[in-house]
Structure 1
Amino acid sequence: MSQEIQTPSSGNETPAKRRNGEALRSAILDRIQGETRSGAPGLSAYQVGMIFGIHPTTARFHLEHLVKQGRLIRHQAETAGANSPNSHKSGRGRPSIIYTPADQEQAREDMIASLCIALESSIADPQARVESALEAGRTWGRHLSNREHRSAGGSSPSNPSGPPLNVLENLGFRPEPIGEDQRSCYLTACPFMDDALAHPIICTIHLGMIQGIMAGRGLRTRTRLEPFASPKGCLLEVQTSNKAIDKD
């Protein structure tokens, strides 16, 4: 799930773009994962409603949707004092239920962290480590490019020489184009935010992934990814050479 890169605003307000369907559920899941990583037992529908400025019934609807998807599990909260700030208030006559990430979500996080640690520790030379991360990303990117080509019925993207906005959007990076030429964009969210903060090599893999997508389109490019370049997010720039490459 994606996490917004920009610093979240204070208070209970949440950006309007995150109030719709999957975007809101993604934000809720991210928040619950963050709370449990910090040692909290989970969040109740009441707490989610307070955080996101929505009615507890609406919060419960989205939480139950995530339960059905297998991303969250629900269980009865331990009793807390009525005046406790951590009390899992749920409304009169309603059992106190909290929601926590499912094991598969934690397994995903653990797997990513383990792969990063293995890559970082198994290659002593920093430059060789970077090249290995880039090549892993390029392999991923070529796969994504092939899938993009198949899903489009063989037709070319609307802006083949610019950043692969549709692919990045589908992955959860929420690209925001800069200027009319669409040669650069901000990645305003990241589905691997916590892992990237702990293991910056993930950003290198993402750079390789974008290079692989562009190579899969048969284009020579000079690609630059600057993590956390501004409050908006990471800066991606793609410059295309006039000379095409052999995709094979």
Structure 2
Amino acid sequence: MIAGGSSQQPASDPIPSHRLTDPGADSAAERVVEALRRRGGMASAPEIGHDLGIHSSTARFHLNQLVTAGRVQAGRENRASRGRPRTLFTLVSEPTEGPRSYQLLAEVLVSHLSRQPDPARAAVEAGRQWGRRFAGHDVVSLLEGIGFAPSTDQQRPGRIALGHCPFIDLAIEHPEVVCPLHRGVVEAVVGHQVTLEAHPGSTCFVTE
């Protein structure tokens, strides 16, 4: 697309991904949590002990620790039959679980940029700031990784067609923000200004 004649070596991973490791992820407590998940989020101490191959009192100790930490709730089993009801431990929903609303977040931020005195300029600068982390990468590979489905024009070197817009809904609603933002990202990657022929809903083109 834009880096057609660049001397930069293509990066093997244009969009770095970093997996954060929790040092406590393999702790006894985390194994108990995972055992609860496998049982649908609710179980007794003997059931967890059986699943993990540990004594039920040991399982109960860890479950009570999780209750203290607010990650598990304890309650008596509702039963119609005679006998002492079991204590059941229920996994509490964690902040990382549940639905995501990234579309809403994007709409909020784009709407904010659209109300700036010069939305296009603010959007270009936002794109440049984000794109600087990928300066020197192969821009076609970067755009491919984002989801633009880029293809180079063999007849016009330095011109890249964007066959797909991964942000099409917002681009149609706020082209004055989303399209300049894309241009800013590309400019930061290639290190100079580029031309963007924006056609939200159709093929767009970027040219050095």
TM-score, structure 2 as length reference: 0.48
Whichever structure has more strand as a proportion of its residues is 1
**Structure with bigger gyration radius:** 2
TM-score, structure 1 as length reference: 0.41
